[in-house]
Amino acid sequence: MARKSQTRDRGYGIFLVPGVLLFVLLVFAPFVANIALSFTRWSGVGVPVWIGLANYQKALGDAVFWASLRNNLALIVAITVIPTLIGLFLAAFLFDYVAVKIGKRTANVFRAGYYLPQIIPVVIASVVWRWMYQPDWGVINYVLRSIGLGALAQNWLGDASTAMASVMVVMIWFQIGYPLVIFMAGLQRIDPELYEAAALEGASWFQRFSRITVHLLLPEIYVVVLTTTIYALKVFGPIYVMTLGGPGTSTIVAAYFSFKNFFDRSQVGYGATIATVLTVLVLIITIFYVRIQSRQQAWENQ
């Protein structure tokens, strides 16, 4: 085995050394150490005490932990479900209405505009949204009051009943550009004759959209859905900046809850447990993603 790999290696193996070395040191070892810590009680100083599965049992009965997972689910709606749907409609609209009737340049300007939030550091965007939501002088309440809808003014991020919805709005705004760009690129691949044929057969715009566009964009839809779901599970910055998980636990998410246990409450073992559960959830989706990608590649190579 070793001899065989050496003869096939022909001097390329050495190029893997720096990358793999750093990877083992800075990713693999910490990853394993974190899993090990999840079976211990540790404050960050002294020696960790092995407590078996106690942290996992604690998580199962912990209302805050479940609240954080529910909020991650809400973020999947805001980051995956809604942007994918809006992205599909917008991409189709820009592609076969704006680009055709008004011009390709205009469609490209719109696409760039929708994508712009994606390149701004999400943390800074969150800082700005925080002021917009501010109850006394924030622009949202200001506009509501000045058009006579002062009754609708809220303490958007400070009230447990509106906080999560307000965070979701920010994430939708932030996220729409990503599916849009991917779908518009995918649309280039579709043969315009298909649309012409369908139009001749008397198919309505919506029928063409649902039967042709959505069907042919399925590979892109898989990619968008899976990558954004992974992202939704990992959200940290916007929560840290806008709400710190509050009020109460109304906007707490798994990543922030784990951070809080690590660095605020010195419950390193429990923090590691939550991080491990989060990792397992992410890995399950990653496995789906890898399988679908390899199936697509196999299909393309045929």
Partner 1 sequence: MAPMALPTTFTLENLINTWQKVDYTNKLLNSFYISLASALLALALSLFNAFALGIGRLPGKTFFLIFFTIAITLPNEALIYPLYYMFKEIGLYDTRLSVILILATLNSAFGTYLLASVFTAFPRELTDAALIDGANKLQLLWRVVVPISMPALSVLFVFFFIWTWNEFFLPLIFLVSNSNQTVPLAMAMARGERGVVITTQSAAALLGVVPCILFFFLFQRTLTRSITAGAIK
Query: Which residues from 230-269 bind partner 1, rule CB under 8 A?
Result: 230, 233-234, 236-237, 240-241, 254-255, 258-259, 262-263, 268
Name the segment binding partner 1 (CB under 8 A); options: 75-83, 94-102, 208-216, 226-234: 226-234
Collapsed DSSP state (helix, strand, coil) of residue 160: coil
Buried b (16+ CB within 10 A) or exposed e, 38-52: bbbebeeeeebeeee
Contacts of 52 (CB under 8 A, 6+ apart): 39
Query: Which residue bears the tokens 């940290």?
Result: 236
Q: How many alpha carbons fall within 13 Å on the CB side of residue 125?
A: 18
Q: Give min distance, CB of 152 to partner 1, in A.
A: 17
- CA dihedral angle for residue 201, residue 205, residue 206, residue 212, rounded to 10 degrees: 60
Q: Give min distance, CB of 66 to partner 1, in A.
A: 18
Collapsed DSSP state (helix, strand, coil) of residue 136: coil
Instruction: Tell me: does residue 127 bind partner 1 (CB under 8 A).
Output: yes
Instruction: Tell me: does residue 44 bind partner 1 (CB under 8 A).
Output: yes
Token pair listed for 189: 């691949």
Q: Which 264-293 residues touch partner 1, going by CB under 8 A?
A: 268, 271-272, 274-276, 278-279, 282-283, 285-286, 289-290
For the chain, strand residue ranges (E) read 40-41, 49-50
User: Could you give the CA distance from residue 119 to residue 110 in angstroms, rounded to a whole number?
Assistant: 15
Binding-site member from 157, 176, 223, 252 for partner 1 (CB under 8 A): 223
Binding-site member from 4, 201, 202, 206 for partner 1 (CB under 8 A): 4
Binding-site member from 49, 128, 197, 199 for partner 1 (CB under 8 A): 128
User: Could you give the CA distance from residue 165 to residue 171 in angstroms, rounded to a whole number?
Assistant: 10
Counting residues that bind partner 1 (by CB under 8 A) gives 80
Q: Give min distance, CB of 108 to partner 1, in A.
A: 8
User: Could you give the CA distance from residue 285 to residue 289 in angstroms, rounded to a whole number?
Assistant: 6
Name the segment binding partner 1 (CB under 8 A); options: 111-119, 153-161, 167-175, 207-215: 111-119
User: 153 vs 198, which CB is nearer to partner 1?
Assistant: 153
Q: Give min distance, CB of 199 to partner 1, in A.
A: 27
Q: Give min distance, CB of 94 to partner 1, in A.
A: 13
Q: Give min distance, CB of 245 to partner 1, in A.
A: 14
Q: Can you say whether the dihedral through the CA atoms of 127, 133, 134, 136 is positive or negative?
A: positive
Q: Which 155-214 residues touch partner 1, going by CB under 8 A?
A: 178, 181-182, 185-186
Instruction: Tell me: does residue 83 bind partner 1 (CB under 8 A).
Output: no
Other residues' Cβ atoms within 10 Å of the Cβ of residue 196: 10
Return the DSSP state at 13.
Answer: G
User: 249 vs 279, which CB is nearer to partner 1?
Assistant: 279
